[in-house]
Amino acid sequence: MATSFEETAIVLRVVPYEDRHRIVTALSEKRGKITAIANNAVNSRRYGAALQPFAASGWRMAERAGANLYRLDEAILKRGYEGIRKHFEILTLASLLNDILLRIAPENEACLELFKLHSNTLALLEDWANEAETLDPIRYFQVLNGYFSKILQWNGTQPQLMRCLSCERSLLDFSENEELRASIITAGWVCSHCRHYRIDTPDQEVLAIHQKYISITQAALGDFYLALTHPIRKSFEVFSPNLSDQHKLFQFLLSLLQYHVPGFEKAPLQTLRFIPEFKDWIQTEPEQSPNRPNL
C-alpha cells in the first residue's frame, strides 16, 4: 500500500517517459534529491507550470514499497521563477546550478542548506533579470563564486582564509592587489614570504591533475570570506567589482569543488560554453592544459 506525504520541491530536471508521462527530479526541502513519476503529465493541464525546470511547488506524493520512484499525485505551483527566462545567459546560469545539484545533492536525505541556497540564488537571478536591460559580465562570476562558496561550506570544507598557513600573518596585513598562493588541498593560502611552504600528500596522482597552488589576490580571498559570512542575495553588493579578482576566485573555487566535493568532478560543466565570458574556461582537450581545471 502506498504511503502519501507532502513536500516542497524545486524542479531540477524533467524527462518524458513513454507517451504521456514525465519523470521529474527535484530538490526537496526535507528529503534532498527526489525523483517521481507524473502519470499522464505530457500536454496535460493537471500540473500546469509546476513541472517546469526551476518551479518551486508543493508536491503530494506516494511512496510505494519496492518502487524506485515516488508517484507524484499533485503539484501546486508556489513560484515559477519565470523571470529567469528573460535573458538567455541568466537562464544558462540557472540551468548550470540545476545540473550541479543533480550531481552533488544527496538522494532521499535532508539537505535544507542546499535547498535554501538554491531557492535564494534563483530569486537573485530572477531579480537581476527583471531589473537589467543589459547584463554586466562580472555578475556571472559573482553569482557562481557565491554559490560555489556556499556549496563548500555545506560540504564541510573549511577554508583557512584569515591567516597564512605558514607564518600566520593576517589576510588584512596585505593590500588588495597582493598576490598570494592558494592551496587546493588545504583550502588555505601562503604569502610571498612563505613561498617555500610545502604540503605533504601521498596522493601524487591527484596533484598531477589539480594544481598544488593557484595564484590569487588578497581581494579575491576576501570575497571568499564574505561569501561564507553573507547571504548569496548580497553577492552583488559585497563582492569586489574587479573582474580579474573574480576570475581568480572562480578558478580557485572550481578546483576546490573538484577536489573536495564528491560528484562534482564527474563531468565537465559544458553549459558554460553558451556564455561568451566563459569561453576561455571551456576545455575541448584537457590534456593540452593540465594546470587548468575542467569545466
CATH at residue 55: 2.40.50.140
Q: Residues 283, 166: one domain? A: yes
pLDDT of residue 5: 87
289 is written with which cell numbers?
A: 592544459
In 3-state terms, what secondary structure has residue 193? Answer: helix
Q: Residues 5, 67: one domain? A: yes
pLDDT of residue 163: 95
CATH at residue 241: 1.20.1440
Report how far apart, in Å, the C-alpha atoms of 252 and of each of 11, 117, 149, 199, 263 are. Answer: 29, 20, 10, 17, 18
Assess if residue 146 is contained within a domain.
no
pLDDT of residue 128: 96
Q: Residues 13, 108: one domain? A: yes
Q: Residues 71, 158: one domain? A: no
Predicted TM-score (pTM) of the model is 0.89
Q: Quote the CA–CA distance of 110 and 87 in Å, as a whole number.
A: 32
Assess if residue 295 is contained within a domain.
no
End position of a domain, from candidates 74, 105, 135: 135
Assess if residue 148 is contained within a domain.
no
Q: Which residues pair with 37 in a beta bridge?
A: 23, 71
Q: Quote the CA–CA distance of 99 and 102 in Å, as a whole number.
A: 5
pLDDT of residue 199: 64
Q: Residues 275, 161: one domain? A: yes
What pLDDT tens digit does each residue of the chain (295 aa) get? 567 889 999 999 999 888 789 999 999 999 999 999 998 887 767 788 899 999 999 999 998 777 788 999 989 999 999 999 999 999 999 999 999 999 999 999 999 999 999 999 999 999 999 998 899 999 999 999 999 999 999 999 889 999 999 999 999 999 999 999 999 888 999 998 887 777 655 555 444 444 578 899 999 999 999 999 999 999 999 999 999 999 999 999 998 998 899 888 766 677 888 888 887 666 433 333 334 444 4
Q: Residues 58, 88: one domain? A: yes
Assess if residue 206 is contained within a domain.
yes
pLDDT of residue 45: 74
pLDDT of residue 200: 57
pLDDT of residue 291: 40
Closest to 189 measured CA to CA, from 217, 228, 208: 217
Q: Which position has the grid cell 588584512?
A: 172
Which domain does 44 fall in, by range?
1-135
Assess if residue 235 is contained within a domain.
yes
Q: Residues 111, 164: one domain? A: no
Q: Residues 197, 279: one domain? A: yes
Assess if residue 279 is contained within a domain.
yes
* Cα 232 off chain centre by: 12
Number of domains forming the structure of the chain: 2
Q: Residues 64, 169: one domain? A: no
DSSP 197: -
pLDDT of residue 268: 66
